């Protein structure tokens, strides 16, 4: 069997593949058994899937392509399959640990040698993965990491967790996905399941990933299998972890979907199959566009209510007392994170192919993108009115570099844009962040690299003309800050939530 996996692809057959028919029939039987649990709601039935063993008759020998399907499913069910995770960042490392803790042997792949050093030392660089879990799974032999991508051939299930950023023209940049698929294609063999988890536009799995992999001479659905399952990580969320976040899955064909259900059903509590890979891709975009549009709405309301002398946070706090028909969203200095600032543009770009306008989504993007400049305008006005000083002659302390509180994640952080605008307008700045000691290299803000967080003390804080609160970390003495700083610009309502009021605190 092992010799077959590394051999050449057999010729295609026009007849139906017996193993896939058997697999589909068994999947249908499993679904029927799930449906018979009429007392369970939809999500509960999805959760129950991993408790039902899908039986495939062995041996299935009617066609050579029967072997990859039946053998892979058996390996997934017995947990003898080896999993591979490409990209060991905020998504990939937690996913790899979850797979390992579920009983699979996992190999992590990354191009960063620094991550290999940290992993070998049992030191996690991702907050969601404690050191003891990383060290424990490594010591137990369930997890290893490498920069050697030739070892992909040893993996039966491969999850792709690489970045999908935007170009400078705000178009999708799939270069990381494309290069990763090219590396996989170099060692692709029959009997592998390749799953894309990176956020992307509908059609990527079928139009980008599949053709690259099929350049190997193998065929999706016959020799190997592909699918899409969007990552849903939320850095800093203590209520949900990878294993408890429902997993959307869709494969290129029923056989691939069934294998994804079997694999992820053994890894996470709830698996939610959908109709197609394009549907799964659209699910992730819809989730984040929903947030981006609603945040844009409250950002615009903030600007309007500021002009009227109305506190938008007071409005939201009162509005959310309505027990139905309202969901609170909160304004801020701009969008941050690896998804929400980027994902809407993936859909607007793809929609042009179908001559469909996305004016609402694009308008939301314009509003959110404009917020950092609005905040700096408010800062400049406050300096002029309350201190009689121009921004160009001021030094500002930016409180918070990460894009959200209590995490060390600076991806797409609005703080970086705030820093850049201050410099553009002739001012100067430092920053304080208890989670980020130094600004690392970034694609867009390389000129800020190397700046370090200041020490938190009264003498240092008093040396700044104003403090701009960009991130509302909990581990900050805001009462002391009120006493030490002559002017505070609060973009997160951090003082209002703590019932701290003073004339030199300005909401923005």
Residues annotated as catalytic are 339
Is residue 489 within 8 A of residue 415, CB to CB? The reply is no
pLDDT, mean of residues 323-339: 95
In the block, which residue shows the tokens 């996996």?
5
Tell which residue, 271, 244, 229, 267, has the closest CA to residue 100.
267
Exposed e or buried b per residue across 458-474, where buried means at least 16 C-beta atoms within 10 angstroms of its C-beta = eeebeebbbbbbbbbbe
Mean pLDDT, rounded, of the chain = 89
**Is residue 380's pLDDT more than 50?**
yes
Q: For residues 322 and 57, which has the higher predicted lDDT (pLDDT)?
A: 322
Asked if the domains 2-280 and 290-507 are classified in one and the same CATH topology, the answer is: yes
In tens, the pLDDT along 98-144 reads 999 999 999 999 999 999 999 999 999 999 999 999 999 999 999 99
State the pLDDT at residue 68: 72
In tens, the pLDDT along 146-170 reads 999 999 999 999 999 999 999 988 8
In 3-state terms the chain splits into helix, strand, coil percentages (rounded to 5) of 45, 10, 45
Query: CATH number of the domain at 290-507, please?
Result: 3.40.50.720
Report the C-alpha gap between 249 and 276 in whole angstroms. Answer: 9
pLDDT band at 17 (very low <50, low <70, confident <90, very high): very low
- Tell me the H-state helices in 162-276: 175-187, 204, 210-214, 254-265
Is residue 124 within 8 A of residue 131, CB to CB? The reply is yes
Q: Which residues contact 472 (CB under 8 A, 6 or more apart)?
A: 400, 405, 492, 493, 494
The phi-psi region of residue 335 (left if phi > 0; otherwise alpha if psi is between -120 and 50; otherwise beta) is beta
- Strand 247-251 and strand 225-228: the pairing is antiparallel
For the chain, what are the domain ranges? 2-280, 290-507
CATH topology of domain 2-280: Rossmann fold (3.40.50)
Report the C-alpha gap between 128 and 103 in whole angstroms. Answer: 19
Tell which residue, 173, 234, 183, has the closest CA to residue 204.
173
Of the listed ranges 62-66, 163-167, 323-327, 477-481, the one predicted with least confidence: 62-66
**Is residue 2's pLDDT more than 80?**
no
State the pLDDT at residue 238: 87
Measured torsion, CA atoms of residues 168, 169, 173, 175, in degrees rounded to the nearest 10: -60
8-state DSSP, 464: S
Q: How many CA atoms lie within 13 A of 296 on its CB side?
A: 20
pLDDT, mean of residues 269-291: 98
């Amino acid at each position: 069997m092992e010799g077959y996996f590394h051999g050449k692809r057999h010729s295609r057959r026009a007849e139906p593949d017996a193993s896939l028919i058997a697999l589909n029939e068994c999947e249908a039987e499993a679904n029927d058994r799930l449906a018979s649990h009429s007392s369970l709601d939809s999500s509960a039935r999805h959760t129950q899937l991993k408790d039902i063993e899908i039986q495939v008759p062995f041996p299935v020998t009617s066609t050579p392509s029967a072997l990859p399907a039946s053998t892979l499913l058996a390996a997934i069910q017995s947990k003898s399959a080896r999993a591979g995770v490409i990209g060991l960042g905020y998504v990939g490392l937690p996913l790899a640990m979850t797979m390992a803790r579920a009983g699979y042997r996992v190999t992590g792949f990354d191009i960063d040698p620094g991550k290999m050093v940290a992993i070998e030392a049992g030191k996690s660089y991702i907050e969601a993965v404690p050191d003891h879990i990383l060290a424990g799974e490594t010591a137990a032999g369930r997890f290893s990491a490498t920069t050697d991508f030739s070892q992909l051939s040893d993996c039966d299930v491969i999850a792709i967790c690489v970045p999908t950023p935007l170009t400078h023209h705000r178009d999708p940049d799939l270069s990381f996905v494309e290069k990763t698929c090219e590396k996989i294609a170099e060692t692709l063999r029959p009997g592998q399941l390749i799953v894309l988890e990176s956020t992307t536009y509908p059609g990527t799995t079928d139009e980008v990933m599949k053709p690259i992999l099929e350049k190997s001479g193998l065929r999706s659905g016959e020799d190997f299998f592909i699918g899409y399952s969007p990552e849903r990580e939320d850095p800093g969320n203590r209520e949900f972890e990878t294993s408890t976040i429902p997993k959307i899955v869709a494969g290129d064909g029923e056989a691939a979907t069934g294998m994804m259900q079997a694999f992820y059903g053994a890894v996470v509590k709830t698996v939610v199959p959908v109709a197609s890979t394009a549907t799964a891709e659209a699910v992730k975009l819809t989730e984040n566009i929903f947030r981006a549009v609603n945040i844009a709405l409250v950002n615009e309301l903030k600007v309007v209510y500021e002009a009227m002398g109305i506190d938008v946070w007071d409005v939201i706090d009162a509005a959310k007392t309505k027990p139905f028909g309202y969901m609170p969203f909160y304004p801020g200095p701009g969008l941050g994170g690896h998804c929400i600032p980027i994902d809407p543009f993936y859909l607007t770009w793809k929609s042009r192919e179908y001559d469909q306008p996305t004016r609402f989504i694009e308008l939301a993007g314009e509003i959110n993108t404009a917020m950092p400049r609005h905040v700096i305008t408010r800062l400049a006005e406050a300096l002029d009115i309350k201190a009689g000083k121009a921004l160009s002659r001021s030094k500002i302390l930016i409180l918070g570099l990460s894009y959200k509180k209590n995490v060390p994640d600076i991806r797409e952080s609005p703080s970086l844009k705030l820093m850049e605008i201050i410099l553009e307008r002739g001012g100067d700045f430092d920053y304080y962040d208890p989670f980020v000691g130094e600004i690392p290299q970034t694609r867009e803000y390389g000129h800020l690299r190397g700046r370090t967080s200041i020490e938190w003390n009264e003498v240092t804080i008093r040396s700044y003309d104003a403090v701009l609160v960009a991130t509302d970390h909990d581990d900050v003495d805001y009462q002391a800050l009120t006493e030490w700083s002559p002017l505070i610009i609060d973009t997160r309502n951090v003082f209002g939530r703590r019932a701290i009021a003073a004339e030199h605190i300005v909401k923005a």
